[in-house]
Amino acid sequence: MNDAAKIGIVAIGRNEGERFKACLKSLIGSSSRIVYVDSGSTDGSVEFAQKHGAAVVELSAEIAFTASRARNAGFGLLREKWPDTEFVMFIDGDCVLSGDFIDAALSKMIAAPRLGIVTGRCRERYPDATIYNRLCEIEWNGPVGEIDACGGIFVVRTRAFEEVDGFNPAIIAAEDDDFCIRVRELGYLIIRIDTDMCFHDADIHRFSQWWRRMVRAGHAYAQLSEIHDGYFAGQRRRAWLWGLILPSLALIGVPFSSGLSLLIFLLYPLSFIRTRQGLIKAGNKNQHATLAAVFLTLSKFPNLKGMIEYRIKKLKSREIGIVEYK
């Protein structure tokens, strides 16, 4: 137990079923201060959490479910029940916590008071189950050391969380990027350590799920750019270029170039080759780099779709709701 270090754990989930059961069981040995936040599950997750001693928050469906809202609610109950909590581990209900991570993270944070967030290696539990799971495994293979931002699974200093007033509940994707930006603006550091942190079950089996996940990413690019000027600028620029500008030039130019404008499409395989080489250089196996390069090349189209959908919602003053892909 890590009670001596006064660490609590907040897990969030919605209808994760057996994945959440595995998640909660992995948390019990790391802290007795566990809060589970449920977003309208109908699979018995609440009852399971209560049976195993976790404090539970059940979010009302009257307000849109978001990861930000859930994490904030979990943090609030954690501090209410255990006001002396100094560190908080956030984890998603489809992840299993690695037993070594919390101790490794705390050793870093206790030694460095300006260290606000520590994250680690997020692994895919079943990377060979589907090509989409393998893509997630590659995506999460981020650099070790000081970083600008990380995903929503990490240990954060309680003081830092409170100083930035938690997650922004209005952000439905990339809320973790926004949170990290604000933490760094206060002078805290964020690091990734070379220690397995959790094992995630992506559970993506269809192309349509992957496509929707990439639409969600595009939505995040658009929303975060409004809040933090210049953020995701490269991703937005590439989505417009590869997802719309180049295809449009190629097709519109056909009658004026005797079809030669279609040669523009040769830029796509060239982009694939360049991306693949970069992934191999980063340490990925050849076959994995090939797979990731194909989907990274394709991803510009759903990314652009998500960006446009967000803008349309804003123009029509429609609710910016969660984009689910499972």
What is the per-residue pLDDT for 173? 85
Domain membership flag for residue 214: yes
Mean pLDDT confidence for 270-296: 93
Beta carbons of 56 and 159 less than 8 angstroms apart? no
Kindly report the average pLDDT of the chain as a whole number. 92
* CA-based torsion, 309, 314, 316, 320: positive or negative: positive
Neighbour count for residue 103 (Cβ, 10 Å): 13
- Is 219 contained in some domain? yes
Co-location of 186 and 220 in the same domain = no
Q: Residues 67, 91: one domain?
A: yes
- Does 324 fall in a domain? no
Residue range of the domain that includes 32: 3-200
Tokens 């991570």 sit at which residue?
A: 101
Q: Are residues 261 and 269 in contact, defined by beta-carbon separation less than 8 angstroms?
A: no
Strand pairing partners for 119? 192
pLDDT, tens only, 138-185: 988 889 999 999 999 999 999 999 999 999 988 888 999 999 999 999
Contact between residue 150 and residue 142 where contact means Cβ atoms under 8 Å apart: yes
CA distance 145 to 147: 6
Q: Are residues 145 and 27 located together in one domain of the fold?
A: yes
Alpha carbon of 10 to those of 89, 243, 249: distances in Å? Answer: 6, 38, 49
Given 155, 182, 200, the domain boundary residue is: 200
For residue 266, give the H/E element and its range. none
Give the model's pLDDT for residue 61. 81
The confidence band for 318, taking pLDDT boundaries of 50, 70 and 90, is: confident
Alpha helices in 63-187 (DSSP H): 67-81, 101-111, 131-139, 158-163, 175-185
Q: Do residues 102 and 175 touch, judged by C-beta distance below 8 A?
A: no
Model pTM score? 0.90
Confidence band, pLDDT 50/70/90 cuts, at residue 63? confident
Radius of gyration of the chain (CA): 21
Domain assignment of residue 320, yes or no? no
Report d(CA 326, CA 323) in Å as an integer. 10
Looking at the structure, tell me whether residues 219 and 81 fall in a common domain.
no
Q: Within a domain: residue 321?
A: no
Pairing of strands 7-13, 87-92: parallel
What is the C-alpha separation between 324 and 246, in angstroms, rounded?
29
What integer is the mean pLDDT of 205-209? 95
Q: Are residues 143 and 214 in the same domain?
A: no
Domain boundary among 175, 200, 225: 200
Tokens standing for 88?
């908080």
CA distance 298 to 300: 6
Q: Spell out the SS3 assignment of 145-165.
A: EECCCCCCCEEEEHHHHHHCC
Residue 323 lies in a domain: no
Question: What is the mean predicted confidence (pLDDT) over 287-304?
Answer: 95
Flag whether pLDDT at 2 surpasses 80: no
Rounded to 5 degrees, what are φ and ψ at 90? -100, 135
Domain stop point among 173, 200, 227: 200
Q: Which of 161, 154, 180, 167 is nearest to 97 (CA)?
A: 154
Q: What is the pLDDT of residues 87-112, one digit of tens each?
A: 999 999 999 999 899 999 999 999 99
Tally of CB atoms within 10 A around 97: 26
The pLDDT score that the predictor gives to residue 172 is 82
Query: Are residues 283 and 138 both part of a single domain?
Result: no
Q: What is the mean pLDDT of residues 307-320?
A: 85
* pLDDT score recorded for residue 160: 97
Q: What band does 324 get if pLDDT is binned at 50, 70 and 90? A: low
Cβ–Cβ < 8 Å for 185, 160: no
The yes-or-no verdict on residue 321 having pLDDT over 90 is no
The answer to whether residue 301 is domain-embedded is yes
pLDDT for 219 beyond 70: yes
Same domain, 95 and 174: yes
On whether both 123 and 224 belong to a single domain, the answer is no
168: closest CA among 122, 228, 233, 85? 228
Q: Based on the fold, state whether residues 118 and 215 are members of the same structural domain.
A: no
The pair of three-digit structure tokens given for residue 98, joined into one six-digit string: 């690695």
Query: Do 157 and 246 have their domain in common?
Result: no
Q: Which two tokens stand for residue 25?
A: 């069981």
Would you say 89 and 198 are in contact if contact means Cβ atoms under 8 Å apart?
Answer: no
Nearest by Cα to 41 from 53, 66, 55, 59: 59
Domain count, the chain: 2
Q: Does 1 score more than 80 pLDDT?
A: no
Query: Confidence band (pLDDT; 50, 70, 90) for 3?
Result: low
Q: What is the CATH number of the domain that holds 20?
A: 3.90.550.10
Residues 71 and 129 in one domain: yes
Give the residue, 87 or 62, on which the prediction is more confident.
87
pLDDT at 4 over 60: no
Chain centroid to Cα 25, Å, comes to: 22
Whether residue 255 sits in one domain with residue 165: no
Lowest mean pLDDT of 2-6, 85-89, 189-193, name the range: 2-6
In a domain, 322, yes or no: no
